[in-house]
Amino acid sequence: AARLDAAESDLRRLADGVRRRPQIVQLAQANTQEASLESVGSVGLRLAYQLERMLDAQVVVAACESANDGAADSEGRGPVRVIGVSGRGDRRLLDSTLPPESDLARVACGEVDALFFEGDPLGGVVADRRQRPSSVLVLPMRAGERCVGAVALWPPGGREPVGGARAEILAAINAA
């Protein structure tokens, strides 16, 4: 319950950044634990689909879970879980725990900043995942100074978004 409360709080701040506050408040007012789980997943999916529409790109959203429940790794970090996959993504990734050494997990935990490279940022979490090698942009999601997750985007044409496009992406994923 404590992990869910922390994740819901972090994702509420994220949702403020994407201007989806009324929907999140409505979900947060539900009284059951199942509704809280649904709201975390709903926010991740909404963000993934919003970014997909903005960029015409495949998107995966991951959140860093709290390390308070004993599930921390040797460096004190909690697990990183996939909470959103856009329509172009592999739905089997949803609710997967990423390997701590994966690029998406490292960015989600604040270990490294944004990355743009060619490869698999997910660390092979789905063994038979068929994705041709392409460029991927991995950006952190922050709540204030704290990193709460990350977004992996496979931009069309393999080009890193710059200027207004990048500013729009950052506005969508960063909490104010």
Predicted pLDDT of residue 88 = 84
Q: DSSP secondary-structure letter at 89? A: S
Q: Looking at the predicted structure, is the pLDDT value of residue 166 above 50?
A: yes
Q: What is the mean pLDDT of residues 123-145?
A: 78
**pTM higher than 0.85, yes or no?**
no
Inter-residue contact 175 to 142 (CB < 8 Å): yes
- The residues, ordered by sequence, that sit 6+ positions from 8 with a Cβ below 8 Å of its Cβ are 28, 36, 39, 40
What is the tens place of the pLDDT at every residue in 20-59?
A: 444 444 545 544 444 444 566 788 888 898 899 888 889 9
Q: Please, which pLDDT band fits residue 176 given cuts at 50, 70 and 90? A: very low
Residue with tokens 């506005």, as numbered in its chain: 171
Predicted pLDDT of residue 30 = 47
User: Per DSSP, what are the bridge partners of residue 152?
Assistant: 60, 138
